[in-house]
């Protein structure tokens, strides 16, 4: 399972002094492609309304 945030949500939810990490998160998304590697991918941009990819077993 992978919980993912869009780049915009990650930026909005990051404290200003922690935004230096954003390029590393973007690189990880691009190189590791966790959305495809995970059995289940949950988009967690809004924790009140998570969205999952619908794959099963």
pLDDT value at 57 more than 70: no
43, containing H or E segment: strand 41-43
For the stretch 28-41, pLDDT in tens is 999 999 988 888 88
For the stretch 1-28, pLDDT in tens is 889 999 999 999 999 999 999 999 999 9
Asked, for residue 57, whether it belongs to a domain, the answer is no
- pTM over 0.95? The answer is no
Instruction: Specify the length of the chain in residues.
Output: 57
The boundaries of the domain holding residue 15 are: 2-52
How many domains, the chain? 1
* Under 8 Å between Cβ of 41 and 56: no
Asked, for residue 6, whether it belongs to a domain, the answer is yes
pLDDT recorded at residue 53: 67
């Amino acid at each position: 399972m992978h919980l993912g945030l869009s780049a915009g949500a990650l930026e909005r939810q990051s404290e200003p002094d922690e935004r230096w990490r954003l390029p590393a998160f973007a690189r990880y998304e691009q190189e590791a492609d966790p959305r495809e590697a995970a059995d289940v991918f949950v988009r967690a941009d809004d924790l009140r309304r998570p969205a999952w990819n619908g794959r099963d077993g």
